Structure 1
Amino acid sequence: MRKRTVFAVSMLVFVGAFLSACFGNGNEEKATSSFGSGMDKFVKLKMIMPGDESPRMREFVDNELNDRLKKDLNMELDLTYIPWANYQQKLEMILSTGEKYDLFWYGTPFVSGYMSQGYIQPLDDLLERFGPDLIANIPNENFKLHRIEDKQWAIPSQAFTSAGKFTSVLVRQDLLEAVGMTEIGTIADLEAFYEKMHGKDPSYYGYLETDRGLDILWREITDKNYTMLDERQLFAVDEDSGELVNYVESELYKQTVKLRESWVVKGIIDKNLVGNPAAKIDQENAGKLLFRVGAVSRAMENWQTAQKADPKARLREYYLSPNKPKYITAPSNEAYMIPVAAENPERAMKFMNWILKSKENYMYIIYGVEGKDYEIDNGKIRLLTNDQLMYEWMWRNTNYFTAPTFVDDKLVDDMLRNDDNAKISKLFGFHFNEEPVKSELAKVLTVYKEKFEPINFGLVGYDEGYADAIHSLKKAGLDRVYEEVRSQYEAFRKKTRDEHE
């Protein structure tokens, strides 16, 4: 708590204002403003989100939502959407130049990097003062995910099932059944699905993201259990031994990219879509993609978009080698951060807290106005508009979750039971501090993008390009980066073991 010396007021008033600021009493703005923090001042909260803003989202924010926020938080939301294909590049430009934004979203793997680059501010004080409902509705383990050097750097907004996230395959179930298949459990099943559907209608694309999804294939390619360290796809952890693995120098890497090569030959990976995120998203939105990387509940999340393109569309998620264990690496991949340049950090935290303050608020910002945007039918949500509002998956919370009517009960049950018998990953809670090898890592990632991504995509053959690629990567400093990651990881493992003894 920040402490201020208060003159010309009685101790009674001081104590009353102090308690009000800490715990709230229905007049939080007024009570906090007695400390001079400016919480009684009307503000415009500038927020950045990924995606394409729908017409209804703009209308909702400008009207109903801002009317509500003016009443409840004495603020209005100034929401800027950046298309997914350009989100990282444009977001980092905004952060690096210190533009005055108050709040933004990105995935968990980016938190430590943005912290080390000085883009974001610690949230401990703000969370303690203005985030009681966040703390009440998000498990403590989720918060630990974003604690680095004993400080909280992000709010893990999602609190839901998460085992095996990004290691499942999302499939157009209706099309799978249309070619006489019922489920996916192997790589051969995926290949057969593509061949049968493409033979029936060549306008459809097979698709497993080429910029990620390697670890989906690991479930079948190897008998071991590996978890990718992060989205850079350089290193992995052997969950059985606890060993850090230099993935790009492993036999597993060779087997995985050779499979990708064969998929280019077969047409499953389309050369016209590789390396063009916008084109891939366009094809998905047009209902032309047969499968992609799943995310535990992506079938439910993408159902609305799929049915907008094709009213008969149904989605389902599957794991290859379904009897292998799933691991919880991060209980939430969603992270809301406050930039160091934010002009309204207190209001940003109060806004996040407001979302989880009640189910009414939660439903309002995600689904809009009851009777206009949605209705409740036998305990489920029936959407009355196809326009996306706030992304539900970014705030999905077990305490408030309500299933949509378009998803059958079995799919919901599978999703809610996803974490049954899951295992905690050896990587849970590990954050790599890039600072000691910042220069080498930058060079390594530049070479990786130039030399390794075409191999990952299947466009350059392993036999043709690997020797030069790994030589260039080592010259850039791969070994130095690996040793630093391994050293930090081993220290983390020792600390974790010591804490549990």
Structure 2
Amino acid sequence: MIRWLALIMLFVAAVSAGGCSDGAQETPDVPESKLPFVKLKVIMPGDESDRMKDFVENELNARLRDDLNIELDFTYIPWATYQQKLELALSTGEKYDLFWYGTPFVSGYQSKGYIQPLDGLLAKYGADLTKNIPAENFKLDQIDGRQWAIPSQAFTSAGKFTSVMVRQDLLERVGMSDIKTIADLEEFYRRMHERDPSYYGYLETDRGQEVLWRELSDDNYTFMDERQLFAVDEGTGKMISYLESDLYRKVARVRESWVRQGIIDKNLIGNPASKIDQENAGKLLFRVGAVSRAMENLQTAQRADPGAKLREYYLAPGKLKYILAPSNEAYMIPTAAQNPERAMMFMNWVLESKENYMFIIYGVEGKDYRLENGKIKLLTNDQLMYEWMWRNKNYFIAPTNVDDKVVEDMLANDDNARISRLFGFHFNEEPIKSELARVMAVYKMKFEPINAGLVGYDDSFQDALAALKKAGYDKVFAELQRQYAEFRASAEDK
């Protein structure tokens, strides 16, 4: 009987160990600090500051050893090469445990098998994540009923990437107060350039088309993804081929005009790092906004120019704004991760308390920051963990150097906003992945020069479109329309 009982207990233990799914491997229910020590390998974009390196190696890892028995091992990849090098690491199965990227990339990485589902891990180790991040945010990263990423940001987001961020101090220096039109931007550049030609107008030609849409069209459109081929008409609900629209022609002609005026410097186009370098040097007059970019980039701007002020504006300010992604920030766990449970524990730890949140973002009180009248006074110019990746309305505190008007803009940004018809839609690219790859190759060669204003729309568009069609553009669009129609029908049935 004893032998039989022993066999039964072994069988039950084996079933329990093997029955776990969705990344939730069984870990003994012991205090987290008593779990085996691991180094959590994390990929991050940008450049690690001197203080961040010191902070991680000392104060942060000391705290994490006590709380979770882990240490963080960061690999930073410069922004200009982040996508390329990240995908190389994922495709070759390098043993990283966690990485960040934007929400639009979740679907592609899921279809390529780069990332693992997180439902089991989230259920077991993510109580504070689900407590502090709204359920709607989590839906963004759900595909086929499973969770594939953690939407780490929980803040205002309507109209993201449709505003323009300007150097407010320079705007006021040339006798202007705000920006409402394309003509205002052009006048700002003209006046500033007359005073000091070392300033650049606008280098961000890889996006920003939606900034201009607000004025150039009476309708409201939202891009399907960052590739900027297709958009949804928010009024009719129809998916449109943006490149074949009259709106594309209007945007292209504005860009051509900006090259002629010098607002877009054609000598810097093609250098992905140029906009970052010029912004870091305090030489960029305006760029695409992102609801809270005026706050996020202020530290960098003031490092170059202590008197710098930033503010975001919407062209056609009375027009509606749409919420496509309440969190554009997504933390994912690679399929090849060796420590997925600890990765989830770490993410949960960040939002477990305001103390943890403040510590990893702002560092040590009295050394890296101090509190003044309910605001954060930064004592170092070195960036620690990117605040925007984890910005949470439950814990948010504004920095002292950010103008109160900027904070008011952010907090009121979602007032009267509407949910985009694309909310929650994920395009499965597998059925047309070969055609899409060919289309994007043609797009890069033929359309990007038009987008940047380097070649004329009238002279180049028909040839570019014919090449795109030959590559399989219509097949890609048809498959997208089919999937989107199914998505809308399903959403209307609920």
Q: Structure 2-normalised TM-score?
A: 0.94
1:307-360 deviation per Cα after TM superposition (whole angstroms, max 9, x unaligned): 000000000000000000000001010000000000000000000000000000
Q: Deviations over 1:97-136 (max 9, x none)?
A: 0000000000011000000011000000000011000000
In structure 1, what is the equivalent of residue 9 of structure 2? 7
Give yes or no for contact 2:230–2:241 (8 Å, CA) kept in 1.
yes
* CA shift in 2, pair 1:10/1:485, >3 Å: closer
1:148-202 deviation digits (Å, cap 9, x = unpaired): 0111000000000000000000000000000000000000000000000001000
Matches of 1:103 and 1:119, distance apart in 2: 11
Distance 1:120 1:142 in 2: 19
Shift of 1:6: 8.6
User: What corresponds to 2:85 in structure 1?
Assistant: 90
CA contact (8 A) 1:85 1:277 kept: yes
Distance 1:405 1:468 in 2: 53
Aligned partners of 1:247 and 1:443: how far apart in 2?
18
> Counterparts of 1:6 and 1:296 in 2: how far apart (Å)?
59
> Equivalent residue of 2:435, what SS?
helix
Is 1:109 matched up with 2:104?
yes
Inter-partner Cα distance in structure 2 for 1:391 and 1:461 = 39
1:172 aligns with 2:170: no
Instruction: Kindly state the Cα deviation for residue 30 of structure 1 after the two structures are TM-superposed.
Output: 6.1
Counterpart selection for 1:271 from 266, 269, 272: 266
- Which residue is equivalent to 2:230? 235
In structure 2, relative to structure 1, the CA distance for the partners of 1:10 and 1:147 (3 Å cut) is closer
Given the superposition, is the C-alpha separation of residues 87 and 10 from structure 1 closer, same or farther in structure 2, using an over 3 Å criterion? closer
User: What is the CA–CA distance in structure 2 between the aligned matches of 1:226 and 1:30, rounded to whole Å?
Assistant: 50
- Distance (Å, rounded) in 2 between the aligned partners of 1:175 and 1:106: 32
User: How many Å apart are 1:410 and its aligned residue?
Assistant: 2.1
Aligned equivalents of 1:9 and 1:97: distance in 2? 37
For the residue of structure 2 that corresponds to 1:80, the secondary structure is strand
Identity %: 71
Report whether the alignment pairs 1:158 with 2:129. Answer: no
| Residues 381-418 of structure 1, C-alpha deviations (whole Å, 9 max, x = no match) | 00000000000000000000001111122221111010
Does residue 213 (structure 1) correspond to residue 208 (structure 2)? The answer is yes
Map of 1:186 onto structure 2 = 181
CA contact (8 A) 1:39 1:347 kept: no
The verdict on how the C-alpha distance between 1:74 and 1:473 changes in structure 2, with shifts beyond 3 A counting, is: same
Q: 2:324 aligns with which of 329, 336, 341?
A: 329
- The verdict on how the C-alpha distance between 1:457 and 1:378 changes in structure 2, with shifts beyond 3 A counting, is same
Counterpart check, 1:405 vs 2:400? yes
Question: C-alpha displacement at 1:275, in angstroms?
Answer: 2.0
Change in 2 beyond 3 A, CA 1:432/1:406: same
Match of 1:44 among 18, 21, 39: 39
Report the secondary structure of 1:236's partner residue: strand
Counterpart pick for 1:137 among 132, 137, 160: 132
Gaps of 5+ in 1: 23-27
Q: Give the match for residue 475 of structure 2.
A: 480
Q: Deviations over 1:357-389 (max 9, x none)?
A: 000000000000000000011110000000000
* Runs ≥4 residues deviating over 4 A: 8-11
Q: Check conservation: 2:203, 2:269, Cα contact below 8 A.
A: no
Between the two proteins, the alignment pairs up a number of residues equal to 479
Relative distance call for 1:436 and 1:376 in structure 2 (3 A) is same
Whole-angstrom CA distance in 2 between matches of 1:49 and 1:148: 24
Q: Which residue of 1 aligns with 2:385?
A: 390
Cα shift at 1:32: 4.7
- Match for residue 337 of structure 2 among 309, 332, 342: 342
Give a deviation string over 1:264-311, Cα, whole Å, max 9, x none.
010000112212121221000000000000000000000000000000
Q: Please point out which of 421, 437, 443 is paired with 1:442.
A: 437
CA distance in 1, matches of 2:280, 2:183: 26
* Gapped regions of structure 2 (runs ≥ 5): 1-6
In 2, Cα distance between equivalents of 1:314 and 1:101: 38
After superposition, where does 1:26-65 map in structure 2 within 5 Å? 31-32=29-30, 40-65=35-60
Give the Cα separation in 1 of the matches to 2:448 and 2:344: 38
Using the TM superposition, give the Cα deviation of residue 495 of structure 1 relative to its aligned residue in structure 2, in angstroms: 0.7
Letter in structure 1 aligned against 2:213: W
Equivalent pair of 2:333/2:340 in contact (CA under 8 Å):
yes
Contact 2:256 2:453 in 1 (8 A): yes
1:460 to 455, 458, 481: 455
How far has the Cα of 1:8 moved from its partner? 7.6
In the TM superposition, 1:414-433 aligns within 5 A as: 414-433=409-428
Q: Deviations over 1:204-228 (max 9, x none)?
A: 0001510001111000001111111
Query: More displaced, 406-415 or 102-111?
Result: 406-415
CA distance in 2, matches of 1:124, 1:6: 30
| CA offsets 1:202-254 (integer angstroms, 9 cap, x no match) | 00000151000111100000111111111100001110000111000111111
**Contact preservation (8 Å) 1:69, 1:75:** yes
Q: Secondary structure, in 3 states, of the residue corresponding to 1:77?
A: strand
Tell me the TM-score normalised to structure 1 length.
Answer: 0.93
Q: Secondary structure at the match of 1:252?
A: helix
Q: Distance in 2 between matches of 1:307 and 1:363?
A: 22
Distance 1:39 1:214 in 2: 52
Residue 351 of structure 2, aligned match among 349, 356, 371: 356
Counterpart CA distance in 2 for 1:441 and 1:8 is 51
Deviation at 1:465, TM superposition (A): 1.1
Q: Indicate conservation of the 8 Å contact 2:203/2:268, yes or no.
A: no
Deviation at 1:10, TM superposition (A): 12
Give the root-mean-square deviation of aligned CA atoms.
2.0
How far the C-alpha of 1:464 sits from its partner, in A, is 1.5
One-letter identity of the residue aligned with 1:134: L
Q: Does 1:498 align with 2:489?
A: no
Equivalent residue, structure 2, for 1:25: none
